[in-house]
Amino acid sequence: MQIISNIYCIQSFSINKRNIYFQDPPLNDPVIQQIPNGPINTSEAVVLTCSVSGGFPLAVLTWNCSGNATKNTSGNTVYYSIGFMLVSQDNGKSCTCSATHTVTAYRPQVHIMLNVYFPPTEFPVIKQIPDGPVLTGSLVSLMCTLNGGNPLATLTWNCTGTISTNSSHTTAISSIEFPATKLNHGMVCTCSAFHNTDGYMQTVHHTLNIIFPPNEKPKVRQFISGPIDSGTSVKLICSVTGGNPLGTLSWDCSGISSNNSTANTAVLEVEFTVDKNYNGRNCSCSATHPIATYRPKTSHELVVYFPPSKPILFMTPEMPWFNGNTTEVQCSSTEGYPESTFEWKKDDIILNVNESELTLGPLTKHDNMKTIACTVSNEYTKRQSIVLTSDGILLNVEYFPEITIYKSPVHIMEGNNATIVCSARGNPVPQVQWFQLDQNITEPQINQSVLYLLNVDRILDGMLYTCKAMSSSSRFGTLTSENTTKTIVYYSPNITNLEVSNGQTVSENEDVTLRCGVDSNPLSTITWRFVSNQNTLQKQDDVSFSNYIIPKIQCVHMGTYQCQATNKINETTFVDTKDITVYVLCSPRVDTRIQGFPKLVAVEHNGDLNLTVYLIAYPTPTIRWIYKNEVASVSSLVGNVYVSNLHIPHLKQSMFGEYTVHAFNDNGNLFLHVNVVPKGKPTPPSNVFVVCKTTSATIFWKPEFDGGDKQTFEVKYWKTSQVTTLLSTTPVTDLAGQSVIEQLLSGFNYSFVLQTSNIYGTSNATLLTCETDVKDIATLKEPQKMFSDVTIATIGVAGGLFVVIVLITVFIIIPFCRRKNKTDKDGSHILRRECLNQGRKVPVQSVINNTYDSVHLEVQYESLREDAIVSTKGNQSRPVDKKADPVNAKGAYYNEPPLPPDIKNIKRRSLRKEVLNHSAYANQTNLADLPTDQSIVRVESMHLTEINAYEDMAKDTKVKTSIKKSTVDKTSESNTQMYESMKDDRTCDKTSMSQKGIKATTNKLSDSKGNLYESMKNRSCENSPKSVSGRQKKVANLTTDGTELYESMKTTTQELTKSIDKMDMYASTLKK
């Protein structure tokens, strides 16, 4: 901005006024101020203010630019402002502020030039040098220009190269230069223009066009790859990718051409038809380009398939040929492509030969009349489904006749007619004829001759017949063959011999042989059967005789035996059978094969009693039923079994008791006893014991008599310390005798009572206790021991069993053996007993081993049992020691813990009153009379038995005498005395030696290892202070009830058996 100022001096005088004023201009020129200061963008406002100070009067200011004017004065300073919006045309414009004053000499002017920023009004432009397509390797230059704008625009490139700027005062210029390569083809270079004015940015693009050749040779492919069949067309495709422009292609094989180029690939196709002359020919594709150095060529070899010619066969030597000869056949054909293969056929059967020459031989009869042909093929014939086969040649092979006799040898059923057919085949055709012993028996016939045999007899079995066949060959002479067959005559079995080597009546224990001889063809299958039960005893195939041996024959072997001979002829089975009866001399006995005989039967009051026994014996036995006296019965013979039935309707109370079956013949007697009782509560289970684990307990038992109705088992149990809380298991019918109780608490003592029930009531077994383990036995880790618990238990059980067997032998078997009968004059045995009278011998069944001992029939039946049963009345006020048996397994105790309120009926009534009205089947020894420790064991086996289902029946049964059992010492020093007591009068003396035995027994019971054994020893005879009176009473009752001998033996043995069973069950539990 320039400021120009003039200084003037003016003096004026006023003569009309009192004051004199002098005119004085400002000392300085005006000043211009621009707001905002500096360059200003278009469309923005600017304010120019002109001011001058001093002078009198004040100066007058003016502007030569138009705008919004504002004038004001402040003190001795004058201000004049103008404001307006800037446009691009204002750039470089000069605004002048002029000052005037009354002093004319004061006329200064000041100026200000405007600097306005504005963008270009055009777009940038790119120019390529040289213009148009550029060869690779040449330099290319791009120049970007943009006119206008204040200041000039800034230009930038996105391409890489040498950049230079040559801008003028009004035009911005930027150039870039680089060498052209094929990589630059199609590349877009962009020039971008920027300006200080906000929002201005413009771009311009330029695409490069570079000339370059493809970088590969042309590629040639066959439209359908692979070999080409002659006569078909082929299309070849040549292509090359890349280049600018694309390459130019051409073929040297004539055909129909078509250009199918794309933007990036040049494609030229040619199609033409081929024949076999094109096989192996090359077709080439050439490529050219503006770049003279690019001139490649690619070739493609054609593979053309064509067929061979039809084959022709040549053979040597000439036919006919003979069986065993060898010949060759040649198959001739011109070659095709690919190589030909040969296939030979003989009557449509393909021979595995791929040769032009076939060797036939050695020839056989099967080659005659066969047709030989050759087929030539290659891949062309297969693809075109062309078959090139030679004309067939029919083979003529001569051979000896071959004879076939239908079904040789000839099988004929005796009495039937037979036809024997002989057929022959050969080349030349044969004549066939039958001969017998070199004499012809038929006329010659072509290919076949038939021989007829009528009403064939077995004498023709094995007869030979010969068939001959003859043919005449023009080249090899007469050809003859023959074949022989024989006849086999079949006939059904005929049993010619059936016998018993010892005779049909034999004694027991003899070795018996049954023999059976059979005549048959074919050989027979001989089967032995026991007719009585239809059991098959023995079977032998393809034999003419058979022996069946019965070693040491027994009574059960008596019966009818059948020999059956069978053979099969023409799928028909022929059978011949014969029977023979074997009689075994034997005494009567129960035929357990049909049904055993019960020892106990329960019947409703006023119900029907039906008893049946099945017996075998020879000769015929006499059978009687006895209850006090003989009872009417019905007996019959069914086969070889004697069936005896006893039927008593409306059985009264007085008819309950023991019934006896007596059967006898010349070989001996049989006595069978059955107790008939009213239906009632079941007998308590035996062998009851419990095994406890951590949280469970298992109860084991042996079921006893069910009282005549189905029984169920239920376990009542409670914590011993909480007798008021009674629990029970679900009733079961498990005859296996086992119940598991779960969810018990660990480390507690529990009490258990096993109850058995039926519709008549409930019986209780022994009260047991056990304590559950804190830890399961299976999880305890015990220190190593020399012997395991199972081993110790097994040794203990074995030792106990041995001692029990010794006791049985000493106290039961030996006394009975000593009381065996002496031999009388007729060979019978007499029982030597003071209490029995001599008489006719009868067998008494032993309850131990089911053998038969002889006693005298004349003794009354009841007295046989009464002799061995004595009544005992001991000191019943003696308390029972409840100390537990220390030798029993953990969890199995015999002491009695407190009972819950509803089980109090289990209290032993035998401790409060005499045992006078007990069941005839319960053990009736007084507990108080036993040694203390032994009484503990008796609680287990007999306490709950005393209150069984038949407690009230004694008064109505046959046995009404108070039962007194003799006592057996268990010490070795009293054995001899006890044996003598049993031998003489079946009682036990209370001698001083026996008292010593009791003490010894008591001492043994205190030992933990002896207690279990002592608890299960033979209880058939126990100490009683009144054994002498018992012996006297036995003599007095000698003839009242003799059958008590049997009951005493039965009870003793049952107790021993139960003890042994319990030891076995306990040992098996320990093993588990």
Here the CATH number for the domain that contains residue 531 is: 2.60.40.10
Rounded CA separation 62/71 (Å)? 10
The predicted pLDDT at position 834 comes to 33
Same domain, 416 and 348: no
Mean pLDDT to the nearest integer, 774-782: 42
Same domain, 874 and 1018: yes
Residue 574 maps to a domain: yes
Q: How far is CA 361 from CA 330, 473, 946, in A?
A: 15, 20, 105
Q: Which domain holds residue 560?
A: 492-584
Residue 57 maps to a domain: yes
Does residue 291 have a pLDDT over 80?
yes
CB-based contact 1021:811 (threshold 8 Å): yes
Same domain, 880 and 992: yes
Mean pLDDT to the nearest integer, 691-697: 92
The predicted pLDDT at position 20 comes to 59
Picking from 305, 320, 350, the residue at the C-terminal end of a domain is 305
The residue that leads in pLDDT, 896 or 290, is 290
The residue that leads in pLDDT, 843 or 440, is 440
The predicted pLDDT at position 431 comes to 94
Q: What is the mean pLDDT of the chain?
A: 75
Does residue 257 have a pLDDT over 60?
yes
In the 8-state DSSP scheme, what is residue 859? Answer: S
Same domain, 873 and 956: yes
CB-based contact 664:670 (threshold 8 Å): yes
Same domain, 842 and 882: no
Residue 812 maps to a domain: yes
pLDDT grade, residue 735 (50/70/90)? low
Rounded CA separation 802/1060 (Å)? 10
Residue 246 maps to a domain: yes
Residue 403 maps to a domain: no
- Amino acid in the structure at residue 942: M
Same domain, 813 and 831: no
The predicted pLDDT at position 861 comes to 32
Burial of 387 (0-12, 13-18, 19+ CB in 10 A): exposed
Lowest-confidence region among 263-277, 779-793, 1048-1062: 779-793
CB-based contact 386:231 (threshold 8 Å): no
Rounded CA separation 303/769 (Å)? 105
Residue 527 maps to a domain: yes
CB-based contact 515:497 (threshold 8 Å): yes
Rounded CA separation 387/378 (Å)? 10
Does residue 784 have a pLDDT over 80?
no
Same domain, 555 and 629: no
737: Cβ contacts below 8 Å, ≥ 6 apart: 685, 687, 700, 701, 702, 703, 713
Lowest-confidence region among 252-261, 476-485, 552-561, 1040-1049: 1040-1049
Angle between helices 1044-1071 and 789-808 (to 10 degrees): 170
Residue 573 maps to a domain: yes
Count of the separate structural domains present in the chain: 10
Mean pLDDT to the nearest integer, 327-348: 91
Q: Over the stretch 958-1013, which tens digit does the pLDDT of each residue have?
A: 333 332 333 333 333 333 333 333 333 333 333 333 343 333 333 333 343 333 33
407: Cβ contacts below 8 Å, ≥ 6 apart: none
Lowest-confidence region among 57-71, 265-279, 852-866: 852-866
Residue 1072 maps to a domain: no
Same domain, 938 and 868: yes
The residue that leads in pLDDT, 316 or 981, is 316
The predicted pLDDT at position 923 comes to 34
pLDDT above 90 as % of the chain: 45
DSSP code string of 160-181:
-SEEEE---SSEEEEEEEEE--
Q: Over the stretch 936-970, which tens digit does the pLDDT of each residue have?
A: 222 333 333 333 333 333 333 333 333 233 333 33
Picking from 533, 552, 584, the residue at the C-terminal end of a domain is 584
Same domain, 643 and 762: no
Rounded CA separation 471/368 (Å)? 15
SS3 601: strand
The predicted pLDDT at position 773 comes to 85
Same domain, 195 and 244: no
Q: What angle do CA 624, 590, 702 make, to 5 degrees?
A: 115
Same domain, 461 and 422: yes
Does residue 685 have a pLDDT over 80?
yes
Does residue 168 have a pLDDT over 80?
yes
Question: Which ranges of 714-821 would DSSP assign to H, the alpha helix?
Answer: 789-808, 814-818
The predicted pLDDT at position 136 comes to 86
Same domain, 577 and 596: no
Picking from 625, 650, 678, the residue at the C-terminal end of a domain is 678
